[in-house]
Amino acid sequence: MIASQPSVQTVSFYINGQWESAGNRRLMPVTNPATGAEIAQVAYATAEDVDRVAQAAHAAYLKWRDVPVVERMQPLYRYKTLLEKHANELAATLTAENGKTIDDARAEVRRGIQMVEVACGMPTLMMGDSLNDVSAGIDCHTIRQPLGVCAGITPFNFPAMVPMWMWPFAIAAGNAFILKPSEKVPMTPSMAAKLLHGAGVPAGVFNLIHGDKVAVDALLHHPLVRAVSFVGSTPVAKYIYKTAAAEGKRVQALGGAKNHLVVMPDAQMPKTVENIISSAFGAAGERCLAGSVLVAVGDAAEPLLKLLVEKVSAMRIGDGIEEDVGMGPLVTKEHKERVAGYIKKGVDEGARPLLDGRSHNGNDDGFFLGPTIFDNVQPGMTIAREEIFGPVLSVIRVKTLEDAIALVNSSPFGNATSIFTSSGKAARDYSARVEAGMVGINVGVAAPMAFFPFAGWKNSFFGDLHAHGKDAVMFYTEQKVVMTRWF
């Protein structure tokens, strides 16, 4: 512990255009997962803080909604330039507190920038419809208006990108926004907020607080908060959806995942293996789009597993800040232990480890696990059913594509899935019949771009309108129909 060292910064709130000191609030350590060292402390917001930020945001919204949309875009254009300029610093901060490799962090920042770019199209995106003479002498048009104060609650695994699925669209549409990011990774959103301040977003339009359930609950029950966007685990997503909906708020709650990668015997093996590795072990498996169950169809298993084990064994594991590292640590010691617990459970339940990540000998102070591949996994095993959120891939062998579809559709989750094949017919049948929100065809991480919607089905999503794309414009606006007659 190096908590007493002066280099440890305190991360606090950005409310109404001001950076606040932590005062006597609860402080929690932020650790670098690669070294185990404490790198910052984060202040936790109280219910009073939430009330203060909601009031400030609401006051800002009352002015911001009247700013013409083309003027609302200007700080976002400046922000995009600042993000480009500081992308490497942002990525380095992200790696320091989250553990993902620097390349992955840079790619995440790039995805975040794309959200801002798309939100800059708001003058077009917010347009309504119109039709003259819907009745004799009567014209009709629709308008989209902002909702008011919107809140975002985000997870630890994408601290730069996921908040940007939300607030650029929300504020471009004329709302004010309160972000409550994961308390495990508060530094990246703080740095992003400093850049936004530099871009000249008016005070109170964007606000940042930190904390845990106390802050979240206060947001869910606050009468001035009109809409809640959540991304995180399924149990919390369900809770957020129920609680905020019961308060009459608009909610989108994106939850956890258990993604299947189906490999047909006619798949192009080397390319398929490359994609599977990046899907299952990229970001140490801490992605909601990570492949977690590998479904080998027919004769696919033997050539697939041989090449997969060979390539995965050669992966370099280490501090993600080093350029040639293939996989970094898990986010916290507790999470590493949880994932190691799943590996033990897999062995206990009779799966055969082709690689066991617990044997990885790395830096003792960091939260490292090597990649794990289990063969002979049965659909009823814990490792086949539950979200592990770590570098663990379970292989299930099935006879036909029909069996694969039935297996995938039996999962309570429905976030993403991929099929690897050379057959257009197999790909078409799979994408048509599989019960998941995002499907990859020879693509291991089926992440929709900023201009498309992002969300799963079943226990991976609670709500109606998905994240980003046109859905975000609808989510952050209320529609009104105007009928006009002039006498």
Residues that bind ligand NAD (CB under 6 A): 153-158, 162, 180, 182-183, 212-213, 216, 231-233, 236, 239, 254-257, 288, 387, 389, 415, 456, 460
Q: Which is nearer to ligand NAD, 216 or 404 (CB)?
A: 216
Q: Which is nearer to ligand NAD, 212 or 247 (CB)?
A: 212
Residue 92 beta carbon to ligand NAD: minimum distance, rounded to whole angstroms:
21
Q: Which is nearer to ligand NAD, 101 or 252 (CB)?
A: 252
Residue 464 beta carbon to ligand NAD: minimum distance, rounded to whole angstroms:
15
CA within 13 Å, CB half, 279: 32
Q: Which residues contact 334 (CB under 8 A, 6 or more apart)?
A: none
Using an 8 Å Cβ cutoff, are 196 and 212 in contact?
no
Residue 207, token pair as written in the block: 């606000």
Active-site residue, 120 included? no
Q: Which is nearer to ligand NAD, 244 or 264 (CB)?
A: 244
Q: Kindly list the distances between the CA atom of residue 182 and the CA atoms of 66, 187, 239, 392, in Å, as whole numbers in the listed order.
A: 32, 10, 16, 23
Using an 8 Å Cβ cutoff, are 465 and 471 in contact?
yes
Q: Which is nearer to ligand NAD, 172 or 218 (CB)?
A: 218
Q: Which residues pair with 373 in a beta bridge?
A: 355, 393
Q: Kindly list the distances between the CA atom of residue 456 and the CA atoms of 328, 434, 463, in Å, as whole numbers in the listed order.
A: 26, 12, 10
Q: Is 365 exposed, middle or buried (0-12, 13-18, 19+ CB in 10 A)?
A: middle
CA within 13 Å, CB half, 271: 10
Say how far apart CA 252 and CA 245 lie, in whole Å.
Answer: 10
Find the helix packing angle between 161-172 and 69-85, rounded to 10°.
Answer: 160
Q: Which is nearer to ligand NAD, 85 or 213 (CB)?
A: 213
Residue 81 beta carbon to ligand NAD: minimum distance, rounded to whole angstroms:
27
> What is residue 45's DSSP assignment?
P
Residue 475 beta carbon to ligand NAD: minimum distance, rounded to whole angstroms:
14
Residue 231 beta carbon to ligand NAD: minimum distance, rounded to whole angstroms:
5
The residue behind tokens 């301040």 is 197
Say how far apart CA 481 and CA 487 lie, in whole Å.
Answer: 20
Q: Is 174 left (phi over 0), alpha (psi -120 to 50) or beta?
A: left
Find the helix packing angle between 69-85 and 187-198, rounded to 10°.
Answer: 120
Amino acid at 469: G
Say how far apart CA 62 and CA 81 lie, in whole Å.
Answer: 28
Q: Which residue is nearest to ligand NAD (CB)?
A: 232
Residue 182 beta carbon to ligand NAD: minimum distance, rounded to whole angstroms:
4
Residue 181 beta carbon to ligand NAD: minimum distance, rounded to whole angstroms:
6
Q: Which is nearer to ligand NAD, 183 or 375 (CB)?
A: 183
Residue 249 beta carbon to ligand NAD: minimum distance, rounded to whole angstroms:
14
User: DSSP letters along 112-173, please?
Assistant: HHHHHHHHTTHHHHT---EEEEEETTEEEEEEEEE-SEEEEE--SS-TTHHHHHHHHHHHHT
Residue 421, token pair as written in the block: 């094949």
Residue 4 beta carbon to ligand NAD: minimum distance, rounded to whole angstroms:
26
Q: Which is nearer to ligand NAD, 158 or 342 (CB)?
A: 158
Q: Which is nearer to ligand NAD, 211 or 346 (CB)?
A: 211
Torsion, CA 169, CA 387, CA 45, CA 10, rounded to 10: -90
Q: Which of the residues 120, 140, 150, 288 is marked catalytic?
A: 288
User: Residues with catalytic annotation?
Assistant: 288
